[in-house]
Amino acid sequence: MNIFGIFILITLFGFLFSFKKFKQLMNKEEGEKKIKEISDLVHKGALSFLKTEYKTISVFAIIIAIILFFINYVLAICFLFGAFVSSLVAYVGMYVSTKANVRTVTSAKKSLKDALDTSFSSGLVTSIFIVSIGLIGIIILFSIFKDVNLLFGFGFGASLVALFLRVGGGVFTKAADVGADLVGKVEKGIPEDDPRNPAVIADNVGDNVGDVAGMGSDLLESYIQSIIAAMVLGFLAFGNLGLILPLFVCSVGVLASVFGSFFVNLKNQNIYSAINKGFYSAFLFMVFVLFFVVLSLNKIIYNSFFVFGPNSLFSLFFCVVLGLLSGIIISKYTLYVTSADKKPTRSIAESSKTGAATNILKGLSVGMFSTALPIIVVSISIIFSYSFGGHFGVALSSVGLLGILGIVLAADFYGPVVDNAQGLVEMGGLSKKIQERTERLDAVGNSTAAITKGFAIASAAFTSIALFISYIVVTNISTIDLINVNVIVSIFIGAMVPFVFCSFLIEAVESAAFKIIHEVRRQFKSIKGLMSKKQKPDYDACISICTNQALKGMLLPAIIAIVLPVLIALLLGPEAVGGFLAGAIGTGFVLAIFMANSGGAWDNSKKYIEQGNLGGKGSEAHKAAVVGDTVGDPFKDTCGPSLNILIKLMTIVALVFVPLLI
């Protein structure tokens, strides 16, 4: 197939672009020694976290690979390759972003425009790398093994690593955050990013662990899984055309993201609108290119530009557009719910005036209500894409949503870089002017983070549905009937799992946070010259506590996700697994939106008060808002994101193992 050559060329172009950006980044000045030293600590801490995680992940991965090997050696190879790619991607992301923070500080000395350029470019290095390697991985494996069904092994490997990184990262980042804040800021009264705080490096590492390693591996997984599901369903519906189309959409997406990146250019001092321009240019590029390709293909095949009807190229084009639009709407809505200048978050801030309890209740209520719109958008999109292109259409709209992943992820990776840069500026005590610049960059980072969170949840829902449909098709179950009592019961069990899963995660964060608090207090007590800056704290101790707790916390959730679908299949049969997945995906999706949005809204309602509203810092309202923010931390940074992976991982486990059990 000649077209595969074109796809490979496009991914190679992606790698080149990513590499060029990387070289540009590394060529930038690192600046003062003092700041560089701290940045190096963060860099080393991040990589040491990954090393320790990878050891445990390897054990898991090898055990699963051995099991798979006895079933089908190709599946085992694909699985290991998927696990490797996901691990590699997280490593690259962490490496780049912890190199980019200090360079953003140096750029900020020149201008805001330069600083945005440096930080956003560093995001592009990893994000374009991710979409390129995801795409070429699929192409290579398919070219070698020729069986698209075996590619699910690739998705499974990526999914397993993603779960570990998301859960582990979620525990790490919140434990470090709480530990640093509670003892440093509250008990000792030193500023947020003070180098005297023993947990400050762990906190900075944590930002990267959660937002770079976690988010990167999460969306890489969605990307891979959606493409594979679409290829499987596409092949069944349209033969080779169905195989090629998803790859084609994503190839155009790679180009669209690169294209969009050129528009992220500070002109009128509005950082947010600059990044937004990048999004919309990529979106428009994708829509227009696909539109014209469809037009010309129609002309070639049917000798007429406009050919409509079910399963026509235009119908499939609309599926892609529906996915893209759904992603944008849900992302923007997430931003709306969690923005300090919008009603939902404001109402939480208002409720803080009457204390912590009303703040908590309002936050829960806002989060619960915010589940409605995303569910409705996803539902409408699925119903229409099904009517346009059948099951393949649904999978294709999932691919469409993820098409502009390259630019969306870049905006997400930008967040921890500027957050770290802002920390470095504070720790280094740089000038007000630079501080103001990094603060402005950081403020936008919160918005892009909210957008990506919405995007990640939407993509997880779409991907799970695409995988779920593939499950039904692949297992050849003709019907999964709700009148079957086993199916009903399994829906209930599926609905329960996300809650129990979150309970484990909250416990893990809590116990890790307690350990860190204890350690930070111990250091402040036993290291005499710490407060007077004569002695340095033992940063590594905090990092290794966070790492170990993260490891401990991720085992049980991972086992749940892998074992349960198989157990249900063995006890209640493959139909019941369908019910189980439907229950788990439905509740998991809703719970993820609820927790992510409540958490984000609590966070920003606190920030709103800290800006001087409703009494400002130190007021009773502020104290109440701090409670909400602390409750929201594991909601938005541990539970919400981990649920995304849970629903995808359980579905892919069912897809890989259940057909073998029948």
Indicate the residue among 266 and 626 with the shorter CB distance to a copy of itself: 626
CB of 578 to a copy of itself, least distance (A): 5
Indicate the residue among 240 and 479 with the shorter CB distance to a copy of itself: 479
Give the H/E segment covering residue 446: helix 432-474
CB of 517 to a copy of itself, least distance (A): 8
Q: Which stretch binds a copy of itself (CB under 8 A): 145-153, 187-195, 299-307, 477-485?
A: 477-485
Q: Which stretch binds a copy of itself (CB under 8 A): 28-36, 305-313, 420-428, 506-514?
A: 506-514
CB of 555 to a copy of itself, least distance (A): 17
Give burial (CB, 10 Å; 0-12/13-18/19+) of 390. buried
573-582 core/surface letters (b: 16 or more CB in 10 A; e: else): bbbbbbbbbb
**Phi, psi dihedrals of residue 602, rounded to the nearest 5°:** -60, -45
Chain positions 383 to 402 lying near a copy of itself, rule: CB under 8 A, are 383, 386, 391, 394
Residue of 92, 184, 191, 78 lying closest to 139 (CA atoms): 78
Q: Does position 362 bind a copy of itself by CB under 8 A? A: yes
In angstroms, the CA 45 to CA 52 distance is: 11
Q: Which stretch binds a copy of itself (CB under 8 A): 5-13, 270-278, 379-387, 611-619?
A: 379-387
Chain positions 518 to 537 lying near a copy of itself, rule: CB under 8 A, are none
Q: Does position 499 bind a copy of itself by CB under 8 A? A: yes
Residue of 164, 46, 120, 130 lying closest to 543 (CA atoms): 46
Indicate the residue among 186 and 300 with the shorter CB distance to a copy of itself: 186
Q: Does position 366 bind a copy of itself by CB under 8 A? A: yes
In angstroms, the CA 78 to CA 148 distance is: 11
- Whether residue 270 contacts residue 300, with contact meaning beta carbons closer than 8 Å, is answered with no
What is the DSSP secondary-structure string of 295-320? HHHHHHHHS-S---STTSHHHHHHHH
Cα 662 → chain centroid: 34
Indicate the residue among 311 and 358 with the shorter CB distance to a copy of itself: 358
- Return the amino acid letter for 527: I
Tokens of 367: 């989060």
Give the interface size with a copy of itself as a residue count (CB under 8 A): 72
- Whether residue 126 contacts residue 14, with contact meaning beta carbons closer than 8 Å, is answered with no
Give the H/E segment covering residue 222: helix 215-238
Chain positions 407 to 466 lying near a copy of itself, rule: CB under 8 A, are 461, 465
Q: Does position 476 bind a copy of itself by CB under 8 A? A: no
Indicate the residue among 10 and 337 with the shorter CB distance to a copy of itself: 337
CB of 211 to a copy of itself, least distance (A): 22
When binding is defined by CB under 8 A, the residue of 48, 58, 311, 371 that contacts a copy of itself is 371
Indicate the residue among 378 and 396 with the shorter CB distance to a copy of itself: 378
Q: Which stretch binds a copy of itself (CB under 8 A): 265-273, 333-341, 363-371, 433-441?
A: 363-371
Tokens of 210: 């959660």
When binding is defined by CB under 8 A, the residue of 19, 306, 308, 492 that contacts a copy of itself is 492
Indicate the residue among 424 and 560 with the shorter CB distance to a copy of itself: 560
Query: HEC profile for 334-401?
Result: HHHHHCCCCHHHHHHHHHHHHCHHHHHHHHHHHHHHCCHHHHHHHHHHHHHHHHHHHHHHHHHHHHHH
Q: Does position 356 bind a copy of itself by CB under 8 A? A: yes
Chain positions 86 to 125 lying near a copy of itself, rule: CB under 8 A, are none
Tokens of 252: 């155009």
Q: Helix (H, G, I), strand (E, B), or coil: what is residue 576?
A: helix
Alpha helices in 239-312 (DSSP H): 240-261, 271-302
When binding is defined by CB under 8 A, the residue of 46, 382, 569, 658 that contacts a copy of itself is 382
When binding is defined by CB under 8 A, the residue of 26, 140, 443, 488 that contacts a copy of itself is 488
When binding is defined by CB under 8 A, the residue of 160, 237, 495, 652 that contacts a copy of itself is 495
In angstroms, the CA 152 to CA 79 distance is: 8
Q: Does position 646 bind a copy of itself by CB under 8 A? A: no
In angstroms, the CA 466 to CA 648 distance is: 10
In angstroms, the CA 587 to CA 593 distance is: 10
CB of 496 to a copy of itself, least distance (A): 4
| Number of residues in the chain | 662
CB of 652 to a copy of itself, least distance (A): 17
Q: Does position 325 bind a copy of itself by CB under 8 A? A: no
**Residue for token pair 């093994």:** 145
Q: Which stretch binds a copy of itself (CB under 8 A): 227-235, 327-335, 382-390, 446-454?
A: 382-390
CB of 492 to a copy of itself, least distance (A): 5
When binding is defined by CB under 8 A, the residue of 253, 494, 553, 573 that contacts a copy of itself is 494
Chain positions 561 to 600 lying near a copy of itself, rule: CB under 8 A, are 572, 578-579, 582-583, 585-587, 589-590, 594
- Residues in CB range of 228: below 8 A, 6 or more apart: 138, 148, 151, 152, 154, 155
Q: Does position 468 bind a copy of itself by CB under 8 A? A: yes
Q: Does position 25 bind a copy of itself by CB under 8 A? A: no
In angstroms, the CA 490 to CA 498 distance is: 13
When binding is defined by CB under 8 A, the residue of 66, 144, 496, 563 that contacts a copy of itself is 496
